Amino acid sequence: MRKTAELKRVDLGSLFKVAFVLYAALGLFAGLFYGLIFMVIGQLGGILGEDVLPGLRFLTGFVGVLAVPVIAMLYGILGSMVVAIGGALYNLATRWVGGVKLEIEVDGSVPGTPVAPSPPMQ
């Protein structure tokens, strides 16, 4: 059985939470990538010799370790803010033109009706 539903409004709080988790996870991977790049640069500085750029290994190592949580939080906060703004614009637009229509296929059971309990096992 197919039913049609219309998404008229998006809850911005739940949208923000889900987007924060997803973007923070993406930021964690990006932070690991950038941190690895900084650490490699520090090792290359060590190969060149500490007298060329003194303190380069320490600085790039520190920035590399610090990049992971900072980038994860920045991605999470900024990404979820952008998604929440998009959700607010969606809610505003649905007032004028209506929501997105969804076609949902139900497996034959009627939503909201209780399911009969199965007989007890012997």
pLDDT digits 0-9 by tens, 25-75: 999 999 888 888 887 877 776 666 666 666 677 777 777 888 889 999 999
Residue 15, C-beta contacts closer than 8 angstroms, at least 6 positions apart: 83, 84, 87
pLDDT digits 0-9 by tens, 85-104: 999 999 999 999 989 898 88
Distance of CA 97 to the CA centre of its chain: 28
pTM, two decimal places:
0.70
